[in-house]
């Protein structure tokens, strides 16, 4: 049992948070999550002053936290292996394909990549089963005992500077440990991202349907992600919102941050929110049914941006109950569809634009 002493700066904090912080600092090469530490505490595999403890217990200076490092490593490896996405035979609506990219029409209800609670049935699981998708994205993570030759080969295939963020649409998660990570730990996190999200350039919410751009090679992923970062990829959505919008076109400029009370929601936050800009124009007004059909172009790509912006101005998207949208008979999700995308092809350097037809539930709604 390895013992760690609680520092004065961590006094009064939860034992699960402090243990996670110290464990990550001690073993940065592992992917140690707070949920993993919590499970170990609940099973009595983490002790405080030699006794079992509850996860929410507040620690005091010089408290002794004991943890079995061999058990920690085994648990970390098992957690990682459980999360590695497996190829699954799932239907894919391929709009376009060449050696570098795939254009996919994602159905509502499909999660883009594996994450907490969704390790199966995702777009990534389907892609890994697709013959045209390059499975080198799914190589196992970099191990500590790779030879220098193998490490160099890995670095040439996936140089560190080539690892882009996902879309701005994805909310970043932070580890409880804020210590500067080792180079090995940084490599493993980069490799974990490739394993979990191979080829994914940008995201769509689970219950948003429509067009998605997927990279088939590392070069394509790097170039397309850079376009996304520079905001040169054009995306248009069709949204159906409650009420009648009088202006023919408009701009919503309201900073977005995480909701401080409800974890799953985002919120408008003038003080701490990130810049968030959405352009829209009216396509059709239905006064009898009290809704407006819009073409929406987000300049930025924050999580739930379109949904929270229209809720903010009093016109929530139909079916979007998370943001106060009205329930509509025959519609089991938000009335939001990614209808087109435009970008510069990563190797041909030509402008390309693709569109995805409306699914039946939205076609019926907009007739």
205 catalytic per annotation: yes
On whether the CB atoms of residues 139 and 153 are closer than 8 A, the answer is no
Phi and psi torsions of 353, nearest 5°: -140, 135
Strand, helix or coil at 225? helix
Task: Write out the E strands in 190-335.
Answer: 209-215, 234-242, 249-253, 256-258, 266-268, 277-286, 291-298
On whether the CB atoms of residues 108 and 73 are closer than 8 A, the answer is no
DSSP helix, strand, coil percent of the chain (3-state; round to 5): 30, 25, 45
- pLDDT at position 199 is 87
- pLDDT at position 31 is 67
- pLDDT at position 326 is 97
Is the CA virtual torsion 280, 284, 287, 288 positive or negative? Answer: negative
Angle (CA) 339-265-165 rounded to 5° is 60
Exposed, middle or buried: residue 161 (CB in 10 Å: 0-12, 13-18, 19+)? exposed
Whether residue 179 is predicted with pLDDT greater than 60 in this model: the reply is no
Whether residue 261 is predicted with pLDDT greater than 80 in this model: the reply is yes
Whether residue 273 is predicted with pLDDT greater than 90 in this model: the reply is yes
Residue-wise pLDDT for 345-362, tens only, equals 999 999 999 999 999 999
Whether residue 151 is predicted with pLDDT greater than 60 in this model: the reply is no
Exposed, middle or buried: residue 121 (CB in 10 Å: 0-12, 13-18, 19+)? middle
- pLDDT at position 192 is 43
Whether residue 180 is predicted with pLDDT greater than 80 in this model: the reply is no
CATH of segment(s) 233-366: 3.30.2350.10
Whether residue 365 is predicted with pLDDT greater than 80 in this model: the reply is yes
Q: How many Å apart are CA 362 and CA 202, to the nearest integer?
A: 23
Residue-wise pLDDT for 14-26, tens only, equals 999 999 999 888 8
Q: Report the chain's terminal Cα–Cα distance, integer Å.
A: 67
- pLDDT at position 83 is 67
Of 168-172, 261-265, 297-301, 350-354, give the lowest mean pLDDT range. Answer: 168-172
Tell me the CA distances in angstroms from 124 to 29, 93, 182, 192, one per residue in order: 25, 13, 29, 14
Residue-wise pLDDT for 305-334, tens only, equals 999 999 999 999 999 999 999 999 989 999
Residue-wise pLDDT for 72-121, tens only, equals 888 877 766 666 778 899 999 999 999 999 999 999 999 998 776 677 89
Whether residue 138 is predicted with pLDDT greater than 50 in this model: the reply is no
On whether the CB atoms of residues 205 and 107 are closer than 8 A, the answer is no
The one-character DSSP state at 321 is: G
Exposed, middle or buried: residue 270 (CB in 10 Å: 0-12, 13-18, 19+)? exposed
Q: Are strands 336-344 and 234-242 parallel, antiparallel or unpaired?
A: antiparallel
Domain ranges of the chain: 2-83, 94-210, 233-366
Angle (CA) 58-61-63 rounded to 5° is 75
Could you tell me which residue, 128 or 323, shows the higher pLDDT? 323
Second CATH level (architecture) for the domain 2-83: Roll (3.10)
Phi and psi torsions of 145, nearest 5°: -105, 20
On whether the CB atoms of residues 187 and 144 are closer than 8 A, the answer is no
- pLDDT at position 80 is 66
Q: Given 63, 163, 205, 207, which residue is catalytic?
A: 205
- pLDDT at position 174 is 33
The contacts of residue 179 (CB under 8 Å, 6+ apart) are 21, 24, 25, 28
Strand, helix or coil at 276? coil
Whether residue 50 is predicted with pLDDT greater than 50 in this model: the reply is yes
Q: How many Å apart are CA 304 and CA 316, to the nearest integer?
A: 12
Measure CA 65 to chain center.
33
Whether residue 191 is predicted with pLDDT greater than 60 in this model: the reply is no
């Amino acid at each position: 049992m390895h013992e760690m002493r609680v520092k004065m700066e961590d006094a009064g904090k939860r034992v699960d948070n402090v243990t996670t912080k110290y464990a990550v600092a001690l073993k940065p090469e592992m992917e140690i999550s707070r949920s993993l530490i919590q499970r170990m505490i609940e099973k009595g595999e983490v002790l405080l002053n030699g006794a079992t403890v509850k996860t929410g217990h507040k620690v005091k200076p010089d408290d002794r936290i004991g943890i079995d490092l061999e058990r920690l490593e085994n648990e970390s490896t098992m957690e990682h292996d459980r999360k590695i996405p497996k190829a699954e035979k799932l239907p894919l609506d391929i709009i376009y394909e060449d050696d570098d990219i795939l254009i996919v029409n994602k159905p509502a209800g499909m999660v883009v990549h594996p994450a907490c609670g969704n390790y199966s049935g995702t777009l990534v699981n389907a892609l890994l089963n697709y013959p045209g998708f390059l499975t080198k994205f799914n190589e196992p993570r970099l191990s500590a005992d790779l030879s220098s030759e193998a490490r160099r080969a890995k670095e040439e295939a996936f140089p560190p500077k080539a690892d882009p963020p996902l879309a701005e649409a994805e909310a970043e998660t932070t580890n409880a440990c804020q210590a500067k990570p080792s180079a090995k730990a940084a490599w493993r996190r980069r490799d974990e991202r490739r394993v979990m999200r191979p080829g994914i350039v940008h995201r769509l919410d689970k219950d948003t349907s429509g067009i998605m751009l997927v990279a088939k090679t590392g070069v394509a992923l790097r170039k397309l992600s850079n376009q996304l970062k520079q905001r040169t990829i054009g995306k248009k959505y069709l949204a159906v919102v409650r009420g009648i919008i009088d202006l023919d076109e408009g701009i919503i400029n309201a900073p977005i941050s995480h909701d401080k009370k409800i974890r799953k929601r985002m919120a408008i936050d003038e003080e701490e929110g990130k810049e968030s800009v959405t352009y829209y124009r009216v396509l059709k007004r239905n006064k009898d049914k009290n809704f407006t059909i819009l073409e929406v172009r987000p300049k930025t790509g924050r999580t739930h941006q379109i949904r929270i912006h229209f809720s903010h101005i009093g016109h929530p998207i139909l079916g979007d109950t998370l943001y106060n949208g009205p329930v509509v008979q025959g519609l089991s999700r938000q009335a939001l569809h990614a209808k087109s995308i435009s970008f510069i092809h990563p190797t041909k350097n030509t402008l390309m634009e693709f569109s995805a037809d409306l699914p039946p539930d939205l076609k019926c709604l907009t007739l």
